[in-house]
Amino acid sequence: MSELRVIERLEQMLHLALEIIDEQSALLNQHGIETDSGKLEAEERRFREDMEKWC
């Protein structure tokens, strides 16, 4: 597999991960569930910001 194909596949995997995160976040929000520390929500925001920069 060429390096370009590996990069392309990694990008696809990141987009899939973001879709999964979106669905899980929606379910948690639907039930009013938040983490005590807010760490998970902060990491999600940072992940989304990084995704917007790179993809």
Q: What is the pLDDT of residues 2-50, one digit of tens each?
A: 999 999 999 899 889 889 988 988 898 899 888 778 888 888 889 888 8
pLDDT of residue 18: 85
Give the H or E element holding residue 41: helix 39-54
User: 0.75 exceeded by the pTM?
Assistant: no
CA distance 42 to 25: 12
Note the helical H segments in 1-38. 3-30
pLDDT of residue 55: 64
